[in-house]
Amino acid sequence: CPVCARPFPTEADVSAHLDVCLAHDASAAPATDPAMADSNDVAARVSEFLSSGPPQGAVEVVLKLLGNVAREPQNDKFRRIRMGNPKIKEAVGDARGGAELLESVGFRLGEEEGEVWATMDAPSEEQIAVIKEATTLLESWKSEGSVPVVVSDVKTQRSIEPKKIDRQV
């Protein structure tokens, strides 16, 4: 959906959702902080991915992909993922919510030379923070013995972290 950024499997589903979304958006309170909206979206996408019960190996692959981008955001090779790669296909492509999780942190799915790729432009500081939040959520799921993460847990974790403020004039 171009309004709320929720993914839908078909264009018909997006069309059916769009009227409701526009009506809700028009009646909503003033816009919130875009970084907070991104953060809420990534938390929901991580929760969706984990609720599908992905194998431990799939979580490891996603952690590796996101960790590489967070560690070296300017490195092009970490910002291009061939979705046809068997490991990537199993961990992300075949897992419910996997592709949506990548899109929520800034990857775009597209076709090049007959193959599907997930690509990302050089991420901003805000995008890197969202990627790090996704990796933190995935790591906490992994370390807590595969207990699903819920969005309310994420809001609690987020409220603990102080917000960076640039005080230079």
Are residues 89 and 109 both part of a single domain?
Answer: yes
Please state, in angstroms and rounded to a whole number, the distance separating the CA atoms of residues 158 and 40.
10
Confidence at residue 70, expressed as pLDDT on a 0 to 100 scale: 92
Encoded amino acid at 101, one letter: L
Please state, in angstroms and rounded to a whole number, the distance separating the CA atoms of residues 50 and 142.
10
Q: What is the pLDDT along the chain (169 residues), one digit of tens a residue?
A: 666 666 767 777 777 766 666 665 444 433 433 444 456 678 888 888 888 788 778 889 999 999 999 999 999 999 999 989 999 988 888 888 888 889 989 999 888 888 889 999 988 888 999 999 989 988 888 777 654 444 444 544 555 555 666 677 6
Are residues 8 and 75 both part of a single domain?
Answer: no
Confidence at residue 33, expressed as pLDDT on a 0 to 100 scale: 38
C-alpha dihedral over 61, 78, 8, 91, to 10 degrees?
Answer: -20
Are residues 105 and 51 both part of a single domain?
Answer: yes
Range of the domain at 39: 34-144
Residue 27 in any domain: the answer is: yes
Residue with token string 């500081």: 125
Residue 157 in any domain: the answer is: no
Domain count, the chain: 2
Are residues 83 and 65 both part of a single domain?
Answer: yes
Residue 67 in any domain: the answer is: yes
Confidence at residue 121, expressed as pLDDT on a 0 to 100 scale: 92
Confidence at residue 23, expressed as pLDDT on a 0 to 100 scale: 64
Confidence at residue 142, expressed as pLDDT on a 0 to 100 scale: 79
Are residues 50 and 80 both part of a single domain?
Answer: yes
Are residues 49 and 95 both part of a single domain?
Answer: yes
Residue 112 in any domain: the answer is: yes
Are residues 1 and 65 both part of a single domain?
Answer: no
Number of Cβ within a 10 Å radius of residue 81: 22
Are residues 97 and 123 both part of a single domain?
Answer: yes
- Backbone φ, ψ for residue 52 (5° rounding): -80, -5
